[in-house]
């Protein structure tokens, strides 16, 4: 069963002389339970594609189906709810809320959805991510890697069917990188979560079931 279907997706930023075609008529599909890596040069359109698959931005043309929902047919409010329930996004630049501490950032998607975090679950995630001692710290009191791990916790806490990860190990040393990829692999296997992960690291890409290469906004 396909969980993601991307059809003829294009995204153009700017107008006239500053116009950039970041995605050029991209079509692809992802099976439920697949672990896919997206690779490509800087500026090739990887983050743009991931943001569109996650419904955090709207395309210039084309569509994205997630579990048979045509997500851009939803209005902004419905799309936000859909995203919160179905998708976990790990952003390249973390997008943590500066006034919330580590545990508040991680539990935010549950809070927004009026869901309760099970006893011990937050502790488990903090432990898994090596953030137990930093749980009360604000983002500006954390290293880049700790902020990255916080954003991973926030994407995992809802146990979403689909996890979209933009360079989830971009700011981590090789030991922590391997641990994060192992963690994603485990979520993939144990909870049958579908994972789409952007990476510049070919060793990490090799852990995936399939590698998609993007070049100048197109799939190679």
Ligand X SMILES: Nc1ncnc2c1ncn2[C@@H]1O[C@H](COP(=O)(O)OP(=O)(O)OP(=O)(O)O)[C@@H](O)[C@H]1O
Residue that has been written with the tokens 């943590």 in this structure: 96
Query: Which residue's CB is nearer to ligand X, number 43 or number 144?
Result: 43
87: nearest Cα among 59, 58, 49, 54: 54
Q: H/E element holding 50?
A: helix 46-53
- Choose one: 14-22, 63-71, 102-110, 157-165; the region binding ligand X (CB under 6 A): 14-22
Q: Could you give the string, one character per residue 59-98, with x where binding to ligand X holds by CB under 6 A and - elsewhere?
A: ---------------------------------x------
Considering the rule CB under 6 A, would residue 44 count as an interface residue with ligand X?
Answer: yes
Q: H/E element holding 18?
A: none
Query: Which residue's CB is nearer to ligand X, number 151 or number 158?
Result: 151
Extract the tokens encoding 61. Answer: 């043309």
- Interface residue with Mg ion, options 22, 37, 44, 47 (CB under 5 A): 47
Show contacts with Mg ion in window 102-121 (CB under 5 A).
none
Minimum gap (Å) between residue 45 Cβ and ligand X: 4
Cβ neighbours of 192 (radius 10 Å): 10
Q: Which does 48 bind (CB under 5 to 8 A by kind): ligand X, Mg ion, none?
A: ligand X
Minimum gap (Å) between residue 180 Cβ and ligand X: 18
Minimum gap (Å) between residue 85 Cβ and Mg ion: 25
Q: 3-state class of 156 per DSSP?
A: helix
Query: Which residue's CB is nearer to ligand X, number 46 or number 154?
Result: 46
Q: H/E element holding 11?
A: strand 2-13
DSSP designation for 141: G
Which region holds residue 74: left if phi is over 0, alpha if psi is between -120 and 50, else beta? Answer: beta
Q: Which residues bind ligand X (CB under 6 A)?
A: 13-14, 20, 22, 40, 42-48, 92
């Amino acid at each position: 069963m396909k969980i993601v279907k991307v059809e003829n997706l294009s995204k153009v930023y700017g107008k006239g002389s500053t116009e950039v075609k970041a995605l050029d008529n991209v079509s692809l599909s992802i099976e439920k339970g697949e672990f896919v890596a997206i690779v490509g040069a800087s500026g090739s359109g990887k983050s743009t594609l991931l943001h569109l698959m996650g419904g955090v931005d709207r395309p210039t043309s084309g569509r994205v189906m997630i579990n048979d929902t045509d997500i851009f047919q939803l209005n902004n409010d419905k799309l936000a709810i859909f995203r919160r329930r179905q998708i976990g996004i790990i952003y390249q630049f973390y997008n943590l809320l500066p006034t919330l501490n580590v545990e508040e950032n991680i539990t935010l998607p549950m809070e927004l959805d009026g869901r309760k975090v099970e006893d011990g679950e937050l502790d488990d995630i903090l432990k898994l991510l090596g953030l137990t001692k930093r749980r009360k710290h604000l983002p500006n009191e954390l290293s880049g890697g700790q902020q990255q791990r916080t954003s991973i916790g926030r994407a995992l806490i809802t146990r979403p069917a689909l996890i979209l990860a933009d360079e989830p190990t971009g700011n981590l040393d090789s030991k922590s990188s391997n641990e994060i990829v192992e963690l994603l692999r485990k979520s993939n296997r144990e909870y049958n979560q579908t994972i789409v992960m952007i990476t510049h690291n070919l060793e990490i890409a090799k852990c995936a079931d399939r590698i998609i290469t993007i070049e100048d906004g197109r799939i190679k």
